[in-house]
Amino acid sequence: MRFLHTADWQMGMRAESVGKVADRVREARLAAARRVVEAARDHKAEMLLLTGDVFEDNGVDRVLVRKVGEILRCFAGPVYIIPGNHDPLSPGSVWEHPVWKEADNIRVCTRREPIDLDSCVLFPCPLREKYSSKDPTSWIKAHDASKPAIGLAHGNVEGIPSGEPDYPIPRDAAARSGLDYLALGHWHSFARYENSQGECRMAYSGTHETTKFGERDSGNALVVEISRRGAPPSLAPIRTGSLEWRSTEHSVSQPLSLESLVQQLSGIAEPGSTLVRMRLDGLLFPEDRDALKQLDEILTSRFLFGVLDATGLTPAPDGEGWIESLPAGPFRDAAQKLRALASNASDPGQRAVASQALLQLFDLCERSRS
């Protein structure tokens, strides 16, 4: 049998870090959901398993809930969903929306009880609250199943760095419960857990569309195939995300180094679906001021979202070009003071202000010449 495993759609999530394009980021998540359904259809998946956190919160806009319901309704096969810790099964939750009852193919699993299907038995582990220290899979007893036993759970597999134990799931949960495959949600990156025989019987599909900068191996869904009860499942990640989140940090120590960064940015293929966060630190040479401006312009104008953090740059101490370009007298004196402050102040904020002041002085100086 073959099915598609996906999770952590986080529909309606807030995207504070991307400012005004947050709506587009959210729209992209809906588009990615459509691609998940298309992928399931393309890979002839018998069913679609959503293992929690379909929504970012139970308080999301109900129109969004309907949109998601309608997307899943388009899938020809059955869809099994478990509520996650972001959208737990609680009064007023998104799961009370009528769209779930209207769609014949969607079943929101609200009970911890086996669902006996023709080709397999599902063991859903719906969550009812945001936090718990209890293993959600502990109830599963699938050793006696005659058909492939598939668990649906949402939580933290032991070993994932996390503060307090939150829905902890043992690394051998699948074997312990007698499951052929345990479909997991909660972790946004694709992750597989192999047993001592090298078999992977539990995995996080990761989120179907990357949610933030710094997220690894996200934007996928998993096509899972199990030939028979006891046979090791085969897992194939399918790319479903459309947005690329790039977070880069560069340290500048040589003049004209920023030119290469400009080239790099210019080389990105699909800037309209790319979000870039660039951090610079090190030295700012007079020769690089134009490149710095260019970087900022490219980031803010060409990409879906771009932000440049150059507060870590300080004017190069031996860059006399800074000073010589200014009129002699108080302005040169002021520039020297500002450069000293930018280089030597103990407070990074003060250094950034001094650097910025110096840049403004040179900007004004250029304007006065024009």
Partner 1 sequence: MILHSLRAAHWRSILEPVEIGPFAEGLNVIHAPNGTGKSSLFEAMRCALFDAHIVTGKDIEAVRPWGRSLAPQATVEFSKTGVRYRIEKTFLDGASARLLRLEGGRFVPIADGRNADSMLREILDATDAPGRGLSKQEHWGLAQVLWAPQGTLKLDSLSSSVSESLRAALGVQLTGEKGTRLEVLLEDEYLSFFTKGGKLRTGKDAAPILAVELECAEVNRERQRLLEQKRSFEEAARAVEDARQRRAQARRDAEGLEEPLAQTRRLAESFQRLQSDLQIKRQAEQAAKERCDSIGRTIELIANARQEIARIKAQIERDEAVLRDVAVELKTAVERAEECRWRRDEARAGRDSLKQRTAEIEDAREFLSDTKARQILGTRLDKLRQLESAVATLRQSRARLVAPDDTTIREVRKHLAAREKAETKIEASLIRLTIRPQYDAIVTRKSPKETKTVRAGEDATFAGSPEVSLEVDGFGRIVASGPEMDVEALREEMAGAENKVAKLTQPYGTQDADRLQLLRDQAKDLDQKIATLDGQIEELVGDETPEDLQRQLAELDARILERTGRFPVWKNQPPALSGLQSAFDARSKEIETAAVQAEDAFEGARSGAQAVEKRHAETEVGLNNARLNLEAANRRLDDLTRDALSDTARREVRKEALMAWEVARTQAGECEAKLAEIGDDPGKSLEKLERQFETHQGAEAAARDDENKAEGRLQTLAAEGAYSKLAACDEKRADLEAGIRREKLRMDALRLLHDTVASCKAAAVAAVAAPVERAASRMLARVAGPRLGTLRLTGQFVPAGVQPESLAEAVGLENLSGGEEEQLFLVTRLALGDVLARDERQLVVLDDVLNATDTGRLARMLVLLEEASSRLQIVILTCHPERYRALEQATFFDLVRPA
Among residues 333, 344, 347, 348, which is the contact residue for partner 1, using CB under 8 A?
333
Cβ within 8 Å of residue 356, ≥6 positions away: none
Q: How far is the CB of 316 from partner 1 (least distance, A)?
A: 18
DSSP letters for 49-93: EEES-SBS-TTS-HHHHHHHHHHHHTSSS-EEEE--SSS-S-TT-
* Cα separation, 240 vs 221, whole angstroms: 7
Q: How far is the CB of 58 from partner 1 (least distance, A)?
A: 7
Among residues 42, 44, 59, 194, which is the contact residue for partner 1, using CB under 8 A?
59
Q: Token pair for residue 94?
A: 């998104």
Element (H, E) at 297: helix 289-302
Residues 287, 289, 293, 296: is their CA dihedral positive or negative?
Answer: positive
Among residues 46, 74, 90, 110, which is the contact residue for partner 1, using CB under 8 A?
90
- The DSSP bridge pattern shows strands 156-157 and 106-108 to be unpaired
Per-residue burial over 238-264, b = 16 or more CB atoms within 10 Å of its CB, e = otherwise: bebbbbbbbeeebebeebebbeebbee
Query: If binding is defined by CB under 8 A, does position 56 make contact with partner 1?
Result: yes
Q: Token pair for residue 69?
A: 């319901």
Nearer to partner 1, 290 or 309 (CB): 309
Query: If binding is defined by CB under 8 A, does position 22 make contact with partner 1?
Result: yes
Q: How far is the CB of 98 from partner 1 (least distance, A)?
A: 11
Among residues 4, 13, 33, 82, which is the contact residue for partner 1, using CB under 8 A?
13
Q: How far is the CB of 93 from partner 1 (least distance, A)?
A: 7
Query: If binding is defined by CB under 8 A, does position 300 make contact with partner 1?
Result: no
Query: If binding is defined by CB under 8 A, does position 14 make contact with partner 1?
Result: yes
Cβ atoms of residues 254 and 221 within 8 Å: no
Nearer to partner 1, 186 or 277 (CB): 277
Among residues 51, 85, 93, 137, which is the contact residue for partner 1, using CB under 8 A?
93
Q: Token pair for residue 157?
A: 């597999």
Q: How far is the CB of 13 from partner 1 (least distance, A)?
A: 7
Query: If binding is defined by CB under 8 A, does position 290 make contact with partner 1?
Result: no
For 280, list phi and psi in degrees, rounded to 5. -120, 140
Among residues 337, 344, 347, 348, which is the contact residue for partner 1, using CB under 8 A?
337
* Part in contact with partner 1 (CB under 8 A); list of ranges 8-16, 68-76, 77-85, 167-175: 8-16
Among residues 49, 131, 330, 346, which is the contact residue for partner 1, using CB under 8 A?
330
Cβ atoms of residues 138 and 172 within 8 Å: no
DSSP letters for 119-182: S-EEEE----SS--SS-TTTT---TT-SS-EEEEEESEETTS--SS--SEE-TTHHHHHT-SEE
* Part in contact with partner 1 (CB under 8 A); list of ranges 44-52, 242-250, 275-283, 358-366: 358-366
Binding site for partner 1 (CB under 8 A): 12-20, 22-23, 56-64, 90-93, 96, 311, 326-331, 333-334, 337-338, 341, 352-361, 364-365, 367-369
